[in-house]
Amino acid sequence: MGKEGKSFRIGVIEGDGIGPEIVREAVRVLNQAAARFDVSLEYVPMVMGGCSIDRYGIPLTEETIAQAKTCDAVLMGSIGGDPAVSPWYQLEPSKRPEAGLLGIRKALGLFANLRFSVLYEDLKDACPLREDIAQEGIDFVILRELTGGLYFGEKKTETVNGEARATDVLAYSESEIRRIAVKAFDSAMLRRKKLTLVDKANVLESSRLWRKVVGEMAKEYPEVSVDYMYVDNAAMQLIRRPSQFDVILTENMFGDILSDEASMVTGSIGMQPSASLAEGRFGLYEPSHGSAPDIAGQDKANPLATILSAACMLRYSLGLEEAADAIEKAVIEAIGKVRTADLKTDGDGTKLVGCTEMGQYVARLIGGEK
């Protein structure tokens, strides 16, 4: 029954918008899994994002960072609000909610982001792609480098010859590439042993370094088949034939864009979990979607991406494979019976439920109820 009697500290950042609702249901499911597999989970509440701005004036405090470092893993909801109306976005960029996310990644050394795209059998009717494409099956993971590249490079805006000129520097070192490539190759070994490096090596010097490092590392993993794809072609292939992918490895900005595209081929971004990993087993787990402030507090949110993120946490950071499997199995069974509005289609034979009822349903299945 896994690691019976084990005890773990879980940092919990509810976040903004629908964050508190979806995290509540993920914790409900975690508690049920913990009871079933004789695991003790201690939750450490923390704040980050817009709610931290409201309370402390900044999106990420040193206290939150210190608390996170005492935990085995962190589970997070969504942060941010509507830039058109939220006062958070009247602040300078370094004080906006998303700056907290970038800050915690850097502070905790979260350099590898994994986003899992799986089209479940019962959701093939919700996939926006042609039926023949969906029937081929979709099951791949994107590993995105998370602490380098354009988002963390030197930035400046200056006046040159009387006009504004903005510069963002894209820089990567060999060691930065190698450490995430190790996780990508290791992931491929656990899956179908195929790795695709996505880059823009015909234009970018940084991409050519990525190819050099990955090509050298491929010799250490002879069982893994490696191919290379330009990012513009990869964006097309994710729509044309997503079944061809197993593990996709890419840099920060390309991964940011492609992972959001990939989320939609699974039927809803509300089904895509995410893991951000450091060296060792520590990780931060969150849904791939945003805070959806337009439906916050209305019990309309889909908690399944957060629940699946919690399952990833059990597997990658806590080593509780059986508990993770139980959650994933319960989610698959649940969507055959009940669905939130983002997953519901006419004639699918399921019951429309809200966020709370979906979480309760999954928890009951883990507990052995039907």
What are the catalytic residues? 151, 200, 232, 256, 260
The residue among 335, 337, 316, 315 whose CA lies nearest residue 324 is 315
Is the alpha carbon torsion for 351, 353, 359, 364 positive or negative? Answer: negative
Which three-class secondary structure state does DSSP give residue 164? strand
Rounded Cα distance, 310 and 338, in Å: 20
Helix locations, the chain, DSSP H: 19-36, 50-56, 62-69, 97-108, 131-134, 174-190, 205-218, 231-240, 252-264, 304-316, 321-335, 355-366
Which three-class secondary structure state does DSSP give residue 11? strand
Rounded Cα distance, 274 and 360, in Å: 22
Which three-class secondary structure state does DSSP give residue 196? strand
Q: How many whole angstroms from its chain centre is CA 119?
A: 16
List the beta bridge partners of residue 273: 287
Q: What is the DSSP string of 15-49?
A: -STTHHHHHHHHHHHHHHHHHHTT-EEEEEEE--T
Report residue 266: phi and psi, to 5°: -90, 5
For residue 289 the two structure tokens come to 């979607």
For residue 244 the two structure tokens come to 């061809």
For tokens 């990993």, what's the residue? 277
